[in-house]
């Protein structure tokens, strides 16, 4: 009996030795197949804002219903902010939880179960609640005034204490929610880009930041033009900007890209290497005399190495772009070496108050974008679900047709 028991032990031991490697091979194979499938499929995403009155009226306590709606519409990516200023919608020690009747963590789990990628939108320098508490942190435009339009009011990008606060908040969100992507929005110097078609004269565009923090930071940086004549050193800001745009562009791009590098380092230090989607303006280098650099502080060269996706905001109706200009803009933001992908953000119908685009224009533009990009993110769910026109079905067909490579 003892010998049979010993034999049974060795048989079981040998089976475990054989089955474990086979199980690992099987699981690895499944993981690779899933990864390969994800790589082959374009991201067709939509932005959702859970604190809006429309959302709460339609999806309060209805996390499963939202998942069903996303699946029905063919989306495999949802982008959603998890805080607004200092109001968070999940439990965190940084701020009191803002009570909304929608469970973010439950929704995150459901997305994972249904193979819908979840991107947490992180607004960086747009933060009205911080400005309400600390008005001295606000960025000024080149006319040395604050902007009245709420979405154009930024915290100074040169406020290092605020930068640290924002990184801490993103790290906390990464630990608690663990999104598939972190989508960095308002990651630039303030520019009122939405109001200006491409034929606008460069000198009429409002941009910043000229608060004392940024002025002192530029002056102390290695990019500040050296050995300026005394009269130029004390010249009005507008004159200094016009004469030294290359230096201003290099400094601004360094400020923005350094923030992103610092964030990535912190994520890695906290074992949360979550890929980044970085929102950019829709401009290219030839627009407004290179203003993408010296106004906004953005470029493919400075941001691309830090991103999984760059996401130019191609709101073509607002900026008066035609198909040729959009194609050129996409060429500017794409990476020929594919170290990063491109995921444009586009409107479903209208953004502010322009007329809805004809279906033929929408079809031509979206097909062109899908041809040159790795997917799209639609702005936003409310517009899609409220669109009762017959065209909405055709628009969805256009998106679904471009879903795979």
pLDDT (mean) for 85-97: 82
Indicate the pLDDT class of residue 353, thresholds 50, 70 and 90.
Answer: low
Q: Which residue has the higher pLDDT, 318 or 171?
A: 171
pLDDT (mean) for 252-262: 98
Tell me which range, 11-20, 204-213, 285-294, 391-400, is most confidently predicted by mean pLDDT: 285-294
| pLDDT exceeds cutoff 50 at 10 | no
Indicate the pLDDT class of residue 37, thresholds 50, 70 and 90.
Answer: very low
Q: What's the start-to-end Cα distance of the chain, in Å? A: 63
pLDDT (mean) for 108-126: 97
Closest by alpha carbon to 207, among 109, 122, 307, 281? 281
pLDDT (mean) for 256-282: 95
Residue 231 is inside which H or E element, if any?
helix 230-233
pLDDT (mean) for 269-276: 92
Tell me which range, 25-39, 291-305, 311-325, is most confidently predicted by mean pLDDT: 291-305
For residue 396 the two structure tokens come to 């969805």
The proportion of the chain whose per-residue pLDDT surpasses 70, expressed as a percent, equals 85
**Per-residue pLDDT at 137:** 93
| pLDDT exceeds cutoff 60 at 303 | yes
Indicate the pLDDT class of residue 8, thresholds 50, 70 and 90.
Answer: low
**Per-residue pLDDT at 404:** 52
Half-sphere exposure of residue 389: CA atoms within 13 angstroms, side-chain side = 14
Per residue, what are the HEC states of 55-120?
HHHHHCCCHHHHHHHHHHHCCCEEEEECEECCEECCCCCCCCECCCCCCHHHHHHHHHHCCCEEEE
Q: What pLDDT, in 10s, does the model give residues 354-389?
A: 677 888 888 888 999 999 999 999 998 998 998 877
Closest by alpha carbon to 367, among 328, 336, 326? 326
**Per-residue pLDDT at 299:** 96
Q: Which residue has the higher pLDDT, 150 or 62?
A: 62
| pLDDT exceeds cutoff 60 at 230 | no
**Per-residue pLDDT at 47:** 97
pLDDT (mean) for 53-66: 95
Q: Check: CB of residue 398 under 8 Å from CB of residue 392.
A: no
H helical segments located in 245-299: 245-269, 291-294
H helical segments located in 178-236: 212-220, 230-233
Indicate the pLDDT class of residue 143, thresholds 50, 70 and 90.
Answer: confident
For residue 71 the two structure tokens come to 């699946």
Phi, psi of 309 (to 5 degrees): -135, 140
| pLDDT exceeds cutoff 50 at 187 | yes
Q: How far apart are CA 147 and CA 391, in angstroms?
A: 37
Closest by alpha carbon to 368, among 323, 335, 400? 323
pLDDT (mean) for 123-145: 89
**Per-residue pLDDT at 281:** 95
Q: How far apart are CA 323 and CA 319, in angstroms?
A: 12
Phi, psi of 346 (to 5 degrees): -130, 155
**Per-residue pLDDT at 13:** 45
To the nearest whole number, what is the mean pLDDT of the chain?
Answer: 85
| pLDDT exceeds cutoff 90 at 343 | yes
Task: Compute how many other C-beta atoms are within 10 angstroms of the C-beta atom of residue 392.
Answer: 18
Q: What pLDDT, in 10s, does the model give residues 304-318?
A: 999 999 999 998 877
pTM strictly above 0.95: no
Q: How far is CA 188 from CA 147, 178, 198, 258, 353, in A?
A: 16, 25, 19, 12, 24
Task: Compute how many other C-beta atoms are within 10 angstroms of the C-beta atom of residue 132.
Answer: 10
pLDDT (mean) for 138-159: 83
| pLDDT exceeds cutoff 80 at 38 | no
| pLDDT exceeds cutoff 70 at 292 | yes
pLDDT (mean) for 277-295: 95
């Amino acid at each position: 009996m003892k010998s049979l028991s010993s034999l049974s032990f060795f048989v079981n031991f040998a089976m475990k030795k054989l089955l474990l490697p086979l199980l690992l091979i099987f699981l690895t194979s499944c993981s690779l197949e899933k990864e390969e499938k994800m790589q082959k499929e374009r991201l067709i995403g939509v932005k959702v804002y859970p604190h809006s009155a429309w959302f709460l009226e339609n999806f309060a306590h209805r996390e499963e219903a939202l998942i069903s709606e996303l699946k029905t519409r063919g989306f495999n990516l949802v982008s959603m902010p998890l805080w607004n200023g200092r109001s968070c919608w999940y439990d965190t020690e940084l701020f009191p939880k803002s009570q909304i009747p929608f469970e973010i963590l439950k929704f995150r789990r459901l997305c994972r179960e249904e193979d819908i990628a979840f991107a947490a939108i992180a607004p960086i320098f747009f933060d009205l609640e911080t400005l309400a508490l600390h008005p001295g942190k606000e960025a000024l435009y080149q006319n040395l005034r604050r902007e009245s339009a709420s979405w154009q009011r930024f915290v100074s990008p040169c406020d290092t204490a605020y930068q640290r606060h924002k990184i801490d908040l993103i790290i906390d969100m990464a630990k608690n929610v663990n999104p598939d992507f972190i989508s960095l929005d308002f990651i630039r110097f303030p520019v009122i880009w939405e109001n200006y078609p491409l034929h606008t004269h460069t000198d009429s565009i409002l941009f910043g930041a000229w608060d004392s923090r940024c002025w002192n930071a530029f002056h102390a940086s290695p990019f500040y033009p050296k050995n300026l004549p005394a009269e130029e050193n004390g010249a009005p800001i507008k004159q200094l900007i016009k004469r030294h745009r290359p230096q201003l562009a290099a400094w601004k791009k360094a400020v923005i890209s350094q923030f992103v590098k610092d964030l990535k380092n912190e994520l890695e230090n906290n074992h949360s290497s979550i890929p980044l989607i970085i929102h950019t303006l829709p401009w290219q280098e030839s627009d407004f005399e290179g203003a993408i650099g010296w106004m906004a502080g953005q470029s493919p060269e400075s941001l691309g190495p830090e991103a999984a996706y760059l996401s130019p905001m191609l709101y073509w109706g607002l900026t008066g772009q035609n198909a040729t200009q959009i194609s050129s803009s996409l060429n500017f933001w794409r990476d020929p070496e594919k170290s990063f992908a491109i995921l444009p953000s586009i409107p479903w119908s209208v953004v502010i108050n322009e007329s809805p685009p004809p279906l033929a224009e929408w079809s031509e533009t979206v097909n062109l974008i899908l041809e040159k990009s790795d997917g799209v993110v639609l702005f936003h769910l409310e517009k899609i679900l409220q669109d009762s026109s017959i065209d909405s079905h055709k628009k969805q067909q256009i998106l679904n047709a471009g879903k795979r490579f």
